[in-house]
Amino acid sequence: MPNEPVITAAAASHTGAAQAGDTQAGDTPRIARDVNTFIGGYPWRHIPHPEPDVLVRVLAREGVRSAWVGHLPSAFHRDPSHGNAQLLAALEPHRGTLHPVPAVRPGWPGWRSALRDGVARGAPAIRAYPQLWNMGVGDAQLVRLAEGCAEEGVALLLTTRFEDLRQRHVLDTAADLSAAHVRAIARAGTGARLVVTAAGREFIEEVHWGLTPAERALVTYDFSWVWGPPTDELASLVRTLGPEAFVYGTMWPLRLTQGPRANLELLPDALRASMLAHLAM
Amino acid sequence: MSPDAPLGGTGPLIDVHAHFFQAGCGRHDWDALNTSRLRGGARIGITWHVASVLGSWGATSPVYFQSPRDTAAGNDAMLALQRGHAGVVRSYVAVNPNDTAAACIEIDRCVPLGAVGLKLAAARRCDDPLLDPVIERARHHGLPVLHHIWQHRTRHWPSQDISDGADLAVLAQRHPAVSFILAHIGGGGDYAHTFAAVRDVPNIFLDLSGSGTDRGMLDDALQAVGPRRLLWGADITLCTGLAKLWALEAVGLDDAQLAGVRWANAARIFPSGAFPGLPDVPDA
């Protein structure tokens, strides 16, 4: 039952690991992967237990087989290399379930070798944060990174935002990633697969319908920031873009893992079935 | 779980912060939105939607600064929805306190028609003494007051005269006999500020609604005010409400406390008989 506690209060208190959000998916069909997770702390607020062993337990409870995992502090570092090293080391005991997604800052000395090293260590994707690196729309460095990802056969993962605009720390002044950023990378003809996380409905539609059919086939989105009823934005997007435009991403440990699962459960039956079949692959 | 079982479990469940739309709201899909809310609510297992219509939703006066005419029209629409869905819908009477006399008259008009709570949005900062006669009418009728809140007011935001937890604490301390529902801790802003601001104000209850689903938010809310001052709600986005309902299972509540957050805490502060089929819960 979805409302059956998985960890008792006493156990939660004892382990210190359970947090609101770490409940069981019950008989929800399994999801192949959560592409949008992190380990590590966040500079602007406390987040509870952002550790890999907790993530492994959460995935099991949520019925998700594996996760792509970034290193959250690295997003805010000038040089992500130290964070990447921490990420690779921290995930090593969980190889097979947690897959590292290192951050590669194009233009930073040695970025190409960082990309190759990450791929050699099993990274299925590379994270980039143009909005935190002051890279504008059409920045040639982003195109070169996309080219590098395509050559290595890995996806380029872009994060639209980490938090709701309305709650940000006074020093957290970076703008959200823009849809124009994504369109520019997708239009560059690199052949790179792009995974866009934490985008809202309007952003997704603006990118999708702003690309050629060939370009849009290379861009997928998680729906962690798309709403269900009564506005039924997710249902509308699944009808218009198709399930193949979507991947499963929760933004753990920043947000509750139950969000996307709830959104899926509230879809009309046929749409839910098509999404679950797609996301199980 | 059976495919037909409520996603949110089979126990009673009160959404203390719901909204519906009306024909005069300027949206062609207003009825579809209402239908979707009721359908989604049934899927989740919401026993009662306690809802408001905020005037014309901006069509003929601003959402948060409703004209008296739109205020009455919105409340009429809400009460009509209550009559049309008498088994699942209850109404707040929503007013703009700037026209204090009209607001008081509107409250007195709507309570006999079935309103069970007072909704105040963002037409006047809530620590303003101008609100006192309006709150007094709520006290007279035994209504809880659901107040729209921006979690930590650090600057002016357009289209609303916002209040935060500290502002509501001022109002609540002036009216200790009235129960105040602090709206949507997931509805924008810094909820951590809210928790600190209202921790020691016992007549403020936190509604868990809003699109925000930050991990740790529910745990911190519980730690700040305890289980008897938490109320489940969804506001506009039912998916985030369901996510938080599931997440409540892991914050360390026992069965009675969880039932409290799901419905019994609400039943305690709304008027006796507001939710037919659910037992009255006396204030301990």
Report pLDDT for A6: 29
Mean pLDDT on A79-95: 97
Give per-residue pLDDT as tens, A15-50.
234 455 444 555 544 899 999 999 999 999 999 999
Give per-residue pLDDT as tens, A230-253.
999 999 999 999 999 999 999 999
Distance CA A230, CA B180 (A): 26
**C-beta of residue B9 within 8 angstroms of C-beta of residue B45:** yes
Give per-residue pLDDT as tens, A176-234.
999 999 999 999 999 999 999 999 999 999 999 999 999 999 999 999 999 999 999 99
Q: Tell me which DSSP letter residue B130 carries.
A: G
Give per-residue pLDDT as tens, B166-200.
999 999 999 999 999 999 999 989 999 999 999 99
CB-based contact (8 Å) between B212 and chain A? yes
Chain A contact set for B254 (CB, 8 A)? 9
Distance CA B206, CA B8 (A): 20
Distance CA B90, CA B86 (A): 8
Radius of gyration of chain A (CA): 18
pTM for the predicted model, two decimal places: 0.93
Chain A contact set for B191 (CB, 8 A)? 167
Single out the residue of B191, B12, B144 nearest to residue B87, CA to CA.
B12
Contact A5 B242 (CB under 8 A): no
- Phi and psi at residue A192, in whole multiples of 5°? -70, 145
Structure tokens at B162: 């916002």
Give per-residue pLDDT as tens, A94-152.
999 999 999 999 999 999 999 999 999 999 999 999 999 999 999 999 999 999 999 99
3-state secondary structure of B240: helix
Structure tokens at A72: 């959250």
ipTM of the complex, rounded to two decimals: 0.95
**C-beta of residue A12 within 8 angstroms of C-beta of residue B253:** no
Single out the residue of A19, A100, A124 nearest to residue A61, CA to CA.
A19
Distance CA A138, CA A148 (A): 16
Report pLDDT for B157: 84
HEC states along A202-268? HHHHHHHCCCCHHHHCCEEEECCCCCCCCCCHHHHHHHHHCHHHEECCCCECCECCHHHHHHHHCCC
What are the C-alpha distances in Å from A198 to residues A37, A159, A210, A250, B58? 11, 6, 19, 9, 28
- Phi and psi at residue B113, in whole multiples of 5°? -85, -5
At B177, the amino acid letter reads: A
Closest Cα in chain B, distance from residue A235 (Å):
12
**C-beta of residue A219 within 8 angstroms of C-beta of residue A177:** no
Contact A167 B240 (CB under 8 A): no
Contact A20 B251 (CB under 8 A): yes
Distance CA A152, CA A131 (A): 24
Report the Cα–Cα distance between both ends of chain B, in Å, rounded.
35
What are the C-alpha distances in Å from A230 to residues A87, A235, B120? 39, 10, 22
Report pLDDT for B284: 57
Which residue is listed with tokens 């550790």? A51
The residues near B97 (Cβ < 8 Å, ≥ 6 apart) are B103, B120, B123, B124, B130, B131, B134
CB-based contact (8 Å) between B223 and chain A? no
HEC states along A175-196? CCCCHHHHHHHHCCCCCCCEEE
**How confident is the prediction for chain A on average, in pLDDT?**
91
CB-based contact (8 Å) between B31 and chain A? no
CB-based contact (8 Å) between B240 and chain A? yes
